[in-house]
Amino acid sequence: MSALDSRNGDLKKDPDLRKELDATVRARTDLGADYDSALVDSFLEKVEQRIDDAVDRRVRRHLAEQRMESARGVRRPKNADTWAERFGLAVISLVLAVPLTAVAGGLAGTAGTVAAWVGIVGVNFAQAVRLNPELLTGRRDRSDRQD
């Protein structure tokens, strides 16, 4: 489909715009080439107005949808599964593991050290399950992964 075919398809979808174009072409044949600029400007203003109206309708519709989602309490899920966030949690866990292990080991001995590491592993595991619920079921669908 060429660009001309595409434009004609758009004109066929909007009969009013097609009528405007036909009227502009007829006026040009009646008035002559002296009025070409004025006729083209007039037609383009009408096309621009149609485009503006269509954009306004789309923006109003989009805003109305957002208001409805907001009123219903619908929230779009935040994409929290980024490499930087996973890496940051891992680094923070390791950095905090050293003083936690020292304090827990000094205060409660081996039991404190084990408790500290169970907590560290638990936080990381909870984050991993939150981002990948299939870890608990053992099933993995590779098509859904976006790493």
Q: Taking the CA of residue 53 as centre, how many other CA atoms within 13 Å lie in the half-sphere pointing to its CB?
A: 6
Residue ranges of domains in the chain: 3-72, 83-144
Amino acid at 51: I
* 133 pLDDT higher than 70: yes
On average, the pLDDT of the chain sits at 79
* 46 pLDDT higher than 50: yes
Q: Which two tokens stand for residue 128?
A: 């991993």
Contact 44, 24 (CB under 8 A): no
Burial (0-12, 13-18, 19+ Cβ within 10 Å), 52:
exposed
Give the tens place of pLDDT for each residue, 17-34: 888 888 888 888 888 778
Give the tens place of pLDDT for each residue, 74-87: 555 555 567 778 78
Q: Give the pLDDT score at 140.
A: 59
Q: In b/e form, how buried is each residue of 18-43, taking b as 16+ CB within 10 angstroms?
A: eebbeebeeebeeeeeeeeeebeeeb
Amino acid at 98: V
Q: Which two tokens stand for residue 36?
A: 């070409």
Q: What is the mean pLDDT of residues 98-126?
A: 89
